[in-house]
Amino acid sequence: MSNFALSYPAINPIRKHRRLPSDVRIEQILRAALVEFSQHGFSSARMEDIAQRAELSKGGLYAHFKSKESIFEALLLKRLTPSFNNQQWVLTGGESLNEAIKSFIDHLYGQLGDPDVIATLKLLLTESRRIPHLVDFWRREIIDKYLAEQQAILKAAANNGHLRHSAFLDDAALLMAPALYGAVWQMIFDETTATATVDSLRHAHTRMLHELLAP
């Protein structure tokens, strides 16, 4: 079995629990929901099972989330919102490009090592047609805006002579495309095969960015 499979404690009877900060409690709910959605699918997952896995009463769960849809939306926003700072692509010369590429690659492939990110991506692929309005919201409000900002910064850097004019300037999503290929590899292959492929891909991805971005 791949090391990217989710692991989470089995459902236990509700225990008397101490009061936790809201952000900690929400994280517990999201991890429990991710397991339930992954095991049973979005349609068959039940709020009461999510609550029990998170060691909450149903009332405690509904105090944070009113529906499975609101939990799924929170999962997308929490796990699949790009967090790389696009301002690192504001370049001043060759050395800053090297630093930006290293930081970008470290960030992308660091995310590929997070089982929750991989599980949420897999969930997105399998459930997107059942809840297209949530997926469309995530794409429109998060991904499209992030990529538009990234593309504008890359074009400015190219116009200032710090980047080569390339296909990346037409579609910034190409910057992360190899990493998405690696994510798919992790979803479908065993640990040994996936790890070897992703390690090789990381080096090739780094080289590609240097070759296609350096002026």
What is d(CA 34, CA 80) in angstroms, rounded to the nearest whole number? 13
The pLDDT of residue 215 is above 80: yes
Burial of 10 (0-12, 13-18, 19+ CB in 10 A): exposed
pLDDT at 13 over 50: no
So what's the architecture of 80-213 in CATH? Orthogonal Bundle (1.10)
Exposed/middle/buried for residue 111 (C-beta within 10 Å: 0-12, 13-18, 19+): buried
Task: Fill in the DSSP letter of residue 171.
Answer: -
- A 10 A CB-CB count for 185 gives 19
Same fold, 22-77 and 80-213: no
Q: How far apart are CA 103 and CA 106, in angstroms?
A: 5
pLDDT at 152: 95
Judge: domain 22-77, CATH 1.10.10.60: yes
Angle ∠(172,176,180) on CA atoms, nearest 5: 135
- Please choose, from the candidates 58, 197, 35, the residue with its C-alpha nearest in 3D space to the C-alpha of residue 116: 35
**Residues 62-90: pLDDT tens digits?**
999 999 999 999 999 999 999 999 999 99
DSSP letter at 3?
T
Distance of CA 99 to the CA centre of its chain: 22
- In this predicted structure, the answer to whether residue 135 has a pLDDT above a threshold of 60 is yes
- CA–CA separation, 189 and 94 (whole Å): 38
Domain ranges of the chain: 22-77, 80-213
Please count the other Cβ atoms lying within 10 Å of the Cβ belonging to residue 140: 10
Is 9 a residue whose pLDDT tops 50? no
Model confidence over 176-209: pLDDT tens digits?
A: 999 999 999 999 999 899 999 999 999 999 999 9
Contact call for residues 157 and 90 (beta carbons, < 8 A): yes
Q: Take residue 95 and report the two structure tokens written for it.
A: 């050395």
Distance (Å, whole) CA 78 – CA 211: 33
- Average pLDDT of the segment spanning 96-108: 95
**What pLDDT band is residue 6 in, cutting at 50, 70 and 90?**
low
Find the angle CA(89)-CA(95)-CA(105) to the nearest 5 degrees.
55
Average of pLDDT values for 207-212? 96
pLDDT digits (tens, 9 = 90+) for 116-133: 999 999 999 999 999 999
